[in-house]
Chains A and B, each alone.
Chain A
């Protein structure tokens, strides 16, 4: 079964400094990986997705992630944090092996990003 591990439950940065949110994955084949963001009392918004086309994936709001097969990692980065980036971030793997032919998303436990002035 596919799984992801988010290495930090909380990350705190100052506004204008770089952001690094870490994620490792476990997969028996080449996975589809995603980062979603959830602002308080809101649904999940897709930040970016990796589907084997390119190892460096650019997303919305200046975020990007790099797929490293040798390290089984998919870390999320942003060069300069903004106050509006404060939210919970989920690393997600897609499992297409459901019996009925569908796919399910398996979420990590989330990383709460705090941005301070």
Chain B
């Protein structure tokens, strides 16, 4: 079975630009979560979606937004990029999101110049 997939693998942007990252969950999983992992640190929670509804939001500015589509895939958008947004962005999927185990994709490496 295919795992969580993310695209693109790598991305280079300049300050002030906008970026969209994409995630497809494991087949049958209805919840998607997004995490940011800055180099040398553990991942930090950004969002969780279940059945297209936002179920939780971490301590990130409004420049970060996300949505989930009817097929349960998800997009993470970041506006007005800052140098500090450079990180590995990880997507995780779970069956329903409440207390289910989260399975991670390989991540998208974003570099902001």
Binding site for B on A (CB under 8 A): 32, 34, 36, 42-46, 49, 51, 90, 94, 96, 98-110
Contact = CB atoms under 8 A, between A and B. Distances in A.
Interface of B: 4, 31, 33, 35, 41-45, 48, 50, 53-56, 58, 90, 92, 97-107
Contacts of B55: 98, 100-102
Contacts of A42: 106
Contacts, number: 70
Given A44-B104, A103-B48, A109 B41 contact: yes
A43 B50 contact: no
A99 B101 contact: no
Contacts of B99: 32, 51, 94, 96, 103
A8 to B, nearest CB: 14
B106 A107 contact: no
A46 B100 CA distance: 13
A105 B45 CA distance: 7
A107 B36 CA distance: 11
